[in-house]
Protein backbone atom coordinates (compact mmCIF):
# COMPACT_ATOMS: atom_id res chain seq x y z
CA UNK A 1 0.00 0.00 0.00
CA UNK A 2 1.23 3.50 -0.85
CA UNK A 3 0.23 6.73 0.90
CA UNK A 4 0.97 10.11 -0.63
CA UNK A 5 0.71 13.21 1.53
CA UNK A 6 0.74 16.50 -0.34
CA UNK A 7 4.24 17.17 -1.75
CA UNK A 8 6.03 14.77 0.61
CA UNK A 9 7.75 11.50 -0.15
CA UNK A 10 5.48 8.51 -0.58
CA UNK A 11 4.97 6.18 2.38
CA UNK A 12 5.07 2.54 1.38
CA UNK A 13 3.31 0.38 3.96
CA UNK A 14 4.24 -3.27 3.62
CA UNK A 15 2.95 -6.39 5.33
CA UNK A 16 1.23 -6.46 8.70
CA UNK A 17 2.25 -4.79 11.94
CA UNK A 18 2.41 -1.28 13.37
CA UNK A 19 3.32 1.67 11.14
CA UNK A 20 4.27 4.95 12.80
CA UNK A 21 3.79 8.28 11.03
CA UNK A 22 5.06 11.06 13.27
CA UNK A 23 5.51 14.79 12.98
CA UNK A 24 6.44 17.85 14.98
CA UNK A 25 4.50 20.09 12.62
CA UNK A 26 1.02 21.20 13.74
CA UNK A 27 0.14 21.72 10.09
CA UNK A 28 1.11 18.21 9.05
CA UNK A 29 -0.56 16.59 12.07
CA UNK A 30 -3.79 18.48 11.44
CA UNK A 31 -3.73 17.54 7.74
CA UNK A 32 -3.15 13.85 8.50
CA UNK A 33 -5.79 13.58 11.21
CA UNK A 34 -8.39 15.28 9.04
CA UNK A 35 -7.39 13.27 5.96
CA UNK A 36 -7.93 9.92 7.73
CA UNK A 37 -11.32 11.24 8.84
CA UNK A 38 -12.07 12.16 5.20
CA UNK A 39 -12.35 15.85 6.09
CA UNK A 40 -9.81 16.84 3.46
CA UNK A 41 -8.05 15.27 0.47
CA UNK A 42 -4.46 15.73 1.58
CA UNK A 43 -3.76 11.99 1.42
CA UNK A 44 -3.98 9.76 -1.63
CA UNK A 45 -4.00 6.00 -1.08
CA UNK A 46 -3.22 3.38 -3.73
CA UNK A 47 -2.37 -0.29 -3.80
CA UNK A 48 1.04 -1.50 -4.99
CA UNK A 49 -0.22 -1.34 -8.59
CA UNK A 50 -1.15 2.32 -8.09
CA UNK A 51 -4.88 1.63 -8.27
CA UNK A 52 -6.74 4.20 -6.18
CA UNK A 53 -8.17 3.11 -2.82
CA UNK A 54 -11.00 4.79 -0.95
CA UNK A 55 -9.66 6.31 2.29
CA UNK A 56 -13.03 5.86 4.04
CA UNK A 57 -13.16 2.14 3.23
CA UNK A 58 -9.46 1.40 3.63
CA UNK A 59 -8.91 3.06 7.01
CA UNK A 60 -10.83 3.24 10.28
CA UNK A 61 -10.02 6.38 12.26
CA UNK A 62 -10.08 5.28 15.92
CA UNK A 63 -8.56 8.40 17.45
CA UNK A 64 -6.82 8.89 20.79
CA UNK A 65 -7.27 5.91 23.14
CA UNK A 66 -7.88 8.21 26.13
CA UNK A 67 -9.14 11.51 24.74
CA UNK A 68 -11.59 10.31 22.08
CA UNK A 69 -14.18 9.00 24.52
CA UNK A 70 -15.49 5.46 24.31
CA UNK A 71 -13.71 4.34 21.15
CA UNK A 72 -14.87 0.73 21.63
CA UNK A 73 -18.58 1.57 21.57
CA UNK A 74 -18.72 2.09 17.82
CA UNK A 75 -17.76 -1.57 17.30
CA UNK A 76 -20.71 -2.96 19.29
CA UNK A 77 -22.77 -3.52 16.14
CA UNK A 78 -19.93 -5.60 14.67
CA UNK A 79 -19.55 -7.52 17.95
CA UNK A 80 -23.29 -8.16 18.16
CA UNK A 81 -23.50 -9.41 14.57
CA UNK A 82 -20.46 -11.64 15.06
CA UNK A 83 -21.91 -13.16 18.22
CA UNK A 84 -25.26 -13.90 16.60
CA UNK A 85 -23.61 -15.38 13.51
CA UNK A 86 -21.41 -17.70 15.56
CA UNK A 87 -23.65 -18.78 18.46
CA UNK A 88 -24.22 -22.53 18.39
CA UNK A 89 -27.67 -24.06 18.11
CA UNK A 90 -27.65 -25.45 21.66
CA UNK A 91 -27.04 -22.06 23.27
CA UNK A 92 -29.53 -20.37 20.96
CA UNK A 93 -32.22 -22.89 21.99
CA UNK A 94 -31.40 -22.44 25.68
CA UNK A 95 -31.85 -18.68 25.35
CA UNK A 96 -35.22 -18.97 23.64
CA UNK A 97 -36.42 -21.61 26.12
CA UNK A 98 -35.56 -19.24 28.98
CA UNK A 99 -37.33 -16.43 27.13
CA UNK A 100 -40.48 -18.53 26.73
CA UNK A 101 -40.43 -19.37 30.45
CA UNK A 102 -40.15 -15.66 31.24
CA UNK A 103 -43.08 -14.92 28.93
CA UNK A 104 -45.25 -17.53 30.70
CA UNK A 105 -44.31 -16.15 34.15
CA UNK A 106 -45.24 -12.60 33.15
CA UNK A 107 -48.47 -13.76 31.48
CA UNK A 108 -49.47 -15.56 34.69
CA UNK A 109 -48.81 -12.46 36.78
CA UNK A 110 -50.83 -10.26 34.42
CA UNK A 111 -53.90 -12.46 34.89
CA UNK A 112 -54.13 -11.13 38.45
CA UNK A 113 -54.49 -7.53 37.25
CA UNK A 114 -57.86 -5.81 36.80
CA UNK A 115 -56.76 -4.26 33.50
CA UNK A 116 -56.64 -6.34 30.27
CA UNK A 117 -52.86 -6.27 29.96
CA UNK A 118 -51.01 -8.38 27.43
CA UNK A 119 -47.38 -8.65 26.34
CA UNK A 120 -45.71 -9.38 23.05
CA UNK A 121 -42.34 -11.07 23.15
CA UNK A 122 -40.01 -10.70 20.17
CA UNK A 123 -37.76 -13.67 19.43
CA UNK A 124 -35.25 -11.42 17.65
CA UNK A 125 -31.96 -12.28 19.37
CA UNK A 126 -30.36 -8.98 18.34
CA UNK A 127 -33.13 -6.97 19.99
CA UNK A 128 -32.90 -9.15 23.09
CA UNK A 129 -29.16 -8.59 23.47
CA UNK A 130 -29.59 -4.85 23.00
CA UNK A 131 -32.28 -4.90 25.69
CA UNK A 132 -29.85 -6.59 28.06
CA UNK A 133 -27.22 -3.98 27.14
CA UNK A 134 -24.56 -6.25 25.72
CA UNK A 135 -21.23 -4.42 26.07
CA UNK A 136 -17.53 -4.86 26.70
CA UNK A 137 -16.56 -5.14 30.36
CA UNK A 138 -14.93 -1.73 30.74
CA UNK A 139 -13.26 -2.75 33.99
CA UNK A 140 -10.63 -4.55 31.91
CA UNK A 141 -10.08 -1.66 29.49
CA UNK A 142 -9.10 1.17 31.80
CA UNK A 143 -5.50 1.40 30.63
CA UNK A 144 -4.50 2.68 27.17
CA UNK A 145 -2.67 -0.58 26.48
CA UNK A 146 -5.79 -2.63 27.30
CA UNK A 147 -7.96 -0.38 25.11
CA UNK A 148 -5.65 -0.77 22.11
CA UNK A 149 -5.32 -4.50 22.69
CA UNK A 150 -9.12 -4.78 22.82
CA UNK A 151 -9.40 -2.98 19.46
CA UNK A 152 -6.99 -5.56 18.02
CA UNK A 153 -9.07 -8.43 19.44
CA UNK A 154 -12.30 -6.94 18.09
CA UNK A 155 -10.76 -6.69 14.64
CA UNK A 156 -9.74 -10.32 14.76
CA UNK A 157 -12.98 -11.60 16.30
CA UNK A 158 -15.23 -9.68 13.92
CA UNK A 159 -12.97 -10.22 10.89
CA UNK A 160 -12.75 -6.49 10.14
CA UNK A 161 -10.64 -5.62 7.11
CA UNK A 162 -10.02 -1.88 7.39
CA UNK A 163 -6.82 -0.47 8.90
CA UNK A 164 -7.22 1.18 12.33
CA UNK A 165 -5.61 4.60 12.71
CA UNK A 166 -4.81 5.76 16.26
CA UNK A 167 -3.46 9.08 17.50
CA UNK A 168 -0.67 9.64 20.04
CA UNK A 169 -0.83 6.07 21.33
CA UNK A 170 2.90 5.98 22.06
CA UNK A 171 2.38 8.79 24.59
CA UNK A 172 0.64 6.28 26.84
CA UNK A 173 2.77 3.18 26.29
CA UNK A 174 5.96 1.86 27.80
CA UNK A 175 8.53 0.52 25.34
CA UNK A 176 7.78 -3.11 26.23
CA UNK A 177 4.04 -2.50 25.73
CA UNK A 178 4.62 -1.04 22.28
CA UNK A 179 6.78 -4.05 21.43
CA UNK A 180 4.03 -6.40 22.61
CA UNK A 181 1.40 -4.62 20.51
CA UNK A 182 3.69 -4.67 17.49
CA UNK A 183 4.16 -8.41 17.90
CA UNK A 184 0.41 -8.93 18.43
CA UNK A 185 -0.46 -7.02 15.25
CA UNK A 186 1.91 -9.23 13.25
CA UNK A 187 0.49 -12.40 14.80
CA UNK A 188 -3.01 -11.28 13.86
CA UNK A 189 -1.79 -10.19 10.42
CA UNK A 190 -3.17 -6.71 11.04
CA UNK A 191 -1.82 -3.42 9.77
CA UNK A 192 -2.16 -0.56 12.26
CA UNK A 193 -1.23 3.10 11.70
CA UNK A 194 -0.14 5.24 14.65
CA UNK A 195 -0.20 8.99 14.08
CA UNK A 196 2.10 10.70 16.57
CA UNK A 197 2.64 14.36 17.38
CA UNK A 198 6.09 14.33 19.00
CA UNK A 199 9.71 15.22 18.53
CA UNK A 200 11.89 12.35 17.29
CA UNK A 201 14.00 12.23 20.46
CA UNK A 202 10.87 11.43 22.50
CA UNK A 203 9.72 8.59 20.26
CA UNK A 204 10.75 5.01 20.87
CA UNK A 205 10.34 3.03 17.68
CA UNK A 206 10.53 -0.77 18.09
CA UNK A 207 12.89 -2.64 15.80
CA UNK A 208 11.19 -3.70 12.60
CA UNK A 209 8.42 -1.10 12.81
CA UNK A 210 8.07 1.11 9.73
CA UNK A 211 8.61 4.74 10.71
CA UNK A 212 8.11 7.99 8.81
CA UNK A 213 8.73 11.47 10.18
CA UNK A 214 8.02 15.06 9.13
CA UNK A 215 9.79 17.71 11.18
CA UNK A 216 8.42 21.09 12.28
CA UNK A 217 9.67 22.67 9.05
CA UNK A 218 7.72 20.09 6.98
CA UNK A 219 10.91 18.29 5.94
CA UNK A 220 10.81 14.51 5.56
CA UNK A 221 13.18 12.58 7.82
CA UNK A 222 13.50 8.82 7.36
pLDDT per position as a tens digit, 167-182: 999 999 998 999 999 9
Predicted pLDDT at 134: 87
Torsion angle, CA of 45/46/47/48, rounded to 10 degrees? -110
Residue 140 scores a pLDDT above 80: no
- Domain ranges within the chain, ordered by starting residue: 2-76+137-221, 85-132
The verdict on domain 2-76+137-221 having CATH code 3.40.50.11940 is: yes
**Cβ contacts of 193 within 8 Å, gap of 6 or more:** 13, 18, 19, 20, 21, 36, 59, 163, 164, 165, 166
Q: Note the pLDDT tens digit of each residue in 58-110.
A: 999 999 999 998 899 999 999 999 999 999 999 999 988 988 898 889 888 98
Please determine, for residue 160, whether its predicted confidence score (pLDDT) is greater than 90: yes
Amino acid sequence: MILSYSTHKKWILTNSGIKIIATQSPIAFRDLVQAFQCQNEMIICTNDSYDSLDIAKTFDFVGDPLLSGDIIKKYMSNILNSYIANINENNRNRIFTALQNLEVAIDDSLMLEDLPLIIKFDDDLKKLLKFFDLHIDYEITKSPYAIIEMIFKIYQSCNLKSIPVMCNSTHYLEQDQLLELSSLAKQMKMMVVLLEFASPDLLVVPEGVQFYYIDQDLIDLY
